[in-house]
Structure 1
Amino acid sequence: MNVSLVSIVIPFKNTVHYLKDCLDSILAQTYQNWEVIAINDHSTDNSLVLVNSYAEKDNRIKVFANTGQGIIPALQLAYSKSSGNFITRMDSDDIMQPNRLKVMVESLLQYGKGNVSVGQVRYFSDRGISDGYSRYEKWLNGLTELGTNYAEIYKECVIPSPCWMVYREDFDICGGFQSNRYPEDYDLTFRFYQHNLKIIPCNEVLLLWRDYDTRTSRTHEHYAQNYFLDIKLHYFLHLDYNEKRPLVIWGAGFKGKKIAKGLIEKNIDFFWLCDNPKKIDKKIYGQELHHFSKLESLTNPQSLITVANTSAQSDIKEYLKSLHHQQALDYFFFC
């Protein structure tokens, strides 16, 4: 194992239009001790031809065919072929800023093992960025600047899949790419959290994140909303749920119903709160909905907040603060 080598794992499938920008951005890195492990996930365009042309010119780029189907088997194969002391992932349609690897390696050397180096991101697109992605970028970068990403881990994935780096030893402790749970980037983030890897704050944009209609996260079923809710509930019950405390769901929309159904299937009792007069005192899945003031009669509850409206979230947060409830201990935003 090369102690200063960065292994960059890149699964690719039918991204020939973007691969040149991706690979050129790696070649232009100010930190040059890297290897690319590129896995062709059964491309039907000229992606493989393009990557092979780069590999022929630079022996740091190694190309293999996915022996399975999909991103997770591709990542697993890539990691098995890697030899660096530092591990990072890159997506084949994105662009590294020239100092991305240098900043991340230096951060890990400074802070040592037990840490995750992350970077801020900037979305770009030929058609412009939607308000939703713009808000996500601002939210994510705000967390990354302070290194407080885990504080809101149940909202969305708080570590961008193409912009993290860890020591190989820490990666192995967290189970690496061994998990078969989708979304795979969110699952890995939860395992970093589970094993208490600290987030190193970063105030620099290190990745340009491309958005387009056929991007995998937009089109593949594994990145649909129900998968995100399943993974949130799975890890909450394993990592933060205290069965000795009353469990509370806020909100009876799609997400609230999905979480409630998951708890019912696991035979976990909970209280269900909302502020909609049409729903209060009614039953969904046999579970009665209560006015949110019900919370004050419960002893030391834990709240899962599935209300999506940002104004309502702020109101709920202020209300919980007035009860001296702490975020990431007594209440968790699930959206």
Structure 2
Amino acid sequence: MEGSPAGNSSLFFQLKTLFREEAENIFHYIILPKHPRFGFNACMKVSVVMPVYNAEGTVLQALDCLRAQTYPSLEIVVVNDGSTDGTLELLRRQKEIVLLDHSHRGIAPALNDGLAAAQGEYIARMDADDLCHPERVELQASFLDTFTDMGIVGSKVKFGGDRKKQAGYAAHVDWINSLVDPNAIALNRFVESPFAHPSVMFRRELFERFGAYRDGPFPEDYELWLRWMANGVEAGKVDRELVTWNDPPDRLSRTDERYSIDAFYATKADYLFQWLEKNNPHHPNVIVWGAGRVTRKRVDILSSYGLRITHYVDLKKRKLNCGTPVIQPDEIPDPTTCFVLPMVGKRGARDKIRAFLTERGFVEGQHCIFAA
């Protein structure tokens, strides 16, 4: 990819094969929809792509939500990813869906199968264990119709779990919901993924121009947003809770190593370096706020690309074995002479750092960028 550092060692760029070949991509059967308002095989403006794996207890509710949408021109593409329970039998009895069935290969190949079959100008994502508001598709399609410079639109989401038992996930939902403005989404994309995957709708031209989902040891959705945004794609949100994002114990983001903290960082590191290369006026020099062991371990990946850490910032005076000097916040130079990369993971601490830098005259995107 243009802008990648020489000798790129990013994990996902080492993969020899990112997509399955046609021989592994054979659909067993397809049920073509007969839309009640448009007739058999009508041309749909919006296609919903929903991969399904062992979801017999929730998939019918998800389909009911889609059938209840106020938006008329809607195609529902369901990809059964080799379910071993009663999911396939349930889906075979459903009307007005496009049903694709293949052996179990994982979510990225299933999503790409759905994209290949979808006819819509806009593609909406949906998971088989989530629910959506009746106006979800209408509002997001209207957003893309109105804001023609936007390629991706998400929405706020309702947390569908127990906030006390799943406090971390609930806090992540709150953080996602705090990012609505396109500028806030762009500036915070290196902290965590700014979208709940099943809340997103995007223009089909994006995967035709910049590629679809990549299959590897990383979160497929986050890599996709970072890659598209690195290519100049703008993203926004509808300022309403349009999806209930459930958090069952067997959700992939809880059980699969591709969604671990380390996998997220390995994914974002390459795109973060590309962004710094283009936007840091003092590149490759940066000041990293956060001198803990975990932060320094992650910064090592950026250093391997050629980033030079001139100082670490910490609240306490300390010496590091690496020899890089540690300064305290009040010792950070003038914003015109340096670039600061705050990498403190705690949300409360991040807010305090942002307030401190803002008061000192630092502007996000010009003098600093937050990551985690």
Same fold (TM over 0.5): yes
Measure how far apart 1:181 and its partner are: 6.5
| 2:341–2:368 Cα contact (<8 Å) kept | yes
Cα distance change of structure 1 residues 297 and 319 upon mapping to structure 2, 3 Å threshold:
same
| 2:265–2:298 Cα contact (<8 Å) kept | yes
Tell me the TM-score normalised to structure 2 length. Answer: 0.79
Residue in structure 1 matching 2:361, options 317, 321, 324: 324
Structure 1's unaligned 5+ residue stretches are none
Residue in structure 2 matching 1:236, options 263, 272, 275: 272
Matched residues in 2 for 1:218 and 1:164: separation?
20
Letter in 1 for 2:154: V
Q: Which residue of 1 aligns with 2:91?
A: 51
Letter in 1 for 2:105: Q
Matched residues in 1 for 2:365 and 2:334: separation?
21
Post-superposition Cα deviations, 1:207-242, rounded to whole Å, max 9, x if no partner, equal 011011111000100000001111221111112333
Measure how far apart 1:254 and its partner are: 5.0
Q: Which residue of 2 aligns with 1:132?
A: 168
> Alignment partner of 2:193: what SS?
coil
Residue in structure 1 matching 2:187, options 151, 161, 173: 151
Cα distance change of structure 1 residues 208 and 314 upon mapping to structure 2, 3 Å threshold:
closer
Letter in 2 for 1:269: R
Residue in structure 2 matching 1:199, options 235, 242, 248: 235
Structure 2's unaligned 5+ residue stretches are 1-40
Q: Which moved more, 1:42-51 or 1:207-216?
A: 42-51
Q: Which residue of 1 aligns with 2:319?
A: 281
Tell me the TM-score normalised to structure 1 length. Answer: 0.87
Matches within 5 A, 1:83-102: 83-102=119-138
Matches within 5 A, 1:25-64: 25-54=65-94, 58-64=95-101
Cα distance change of structure 1 residues 272 and 212 upon mapping to structure 2, 3 Å threshold:
farther
Measure how far apart 1:26 and its partner are: 0.9
Backbone CA RMSD of aligned residues = 2.6
Cα distance change of structure 1 residues 128 and 100 upon mapping to structure 2, 3 Å threshold:
farther
Post-superposition Cα deviations, 1:50-82, rounded to whole Å, max 9, x if no partner, equal 22221xxx233322215x721111111111111
Measure how far apart 1:267 and its partner are: 4.1
Cα distance change of structure 1 residues 186 and 135 upon mapping to structure 2, 3 Å threshold:
same
Q: Which residue of 1 aligns with 2:5?
A: none
Measure how far apart 1:178 and its partner are: 4.8
Matched residues in 2 for 1:275 and 1:110: separation?
45
Measure how far apart 1:3 and its partner are: 6.4
Report sequence identity in percent.
25
Residue in structure 1 matching 2:55, options 6, 12, 15: 15
Post-superposition Cα deviations, 1:128-166, rounded to whole Å, max 9, x if no partner, equal 663323322222222126773222111111122111212
Matched residues in 1 for 2:42 and 2:233: separation?
22
Matched residues in 1 for 2:183 and 2:334: separation?
35
Residue in structure 2 matching 1:249, options 288, 292, 302: 288
| 1:6–1:88 Cα contact (<8 Å) kept | yes
Measure how far apart 1:39 and its partner are: 1.8
Q: Which residue of 2 aligns with 1:6?
A: 46
Matched residues in 1 for 2:183 and 2:68: separation?
27
Cα distance change of structure 1 residues 43 and 3 upon mapping to structure 2, 3 Å threshold:
closer
Q: How many residues end up aligned between the 2 structures?
A: 328
Q: Which residue of 2 aligns with 1:161?
A: 197
Measure how far apart 1:186 and its partner are: 0.8
Q: Which residue of 1 aligns with 2:305?
A: 266
> Alignment partner of 1:157: what SS?
coil
Matched residues in 2 for 1:22 and 1:328: separation?
39
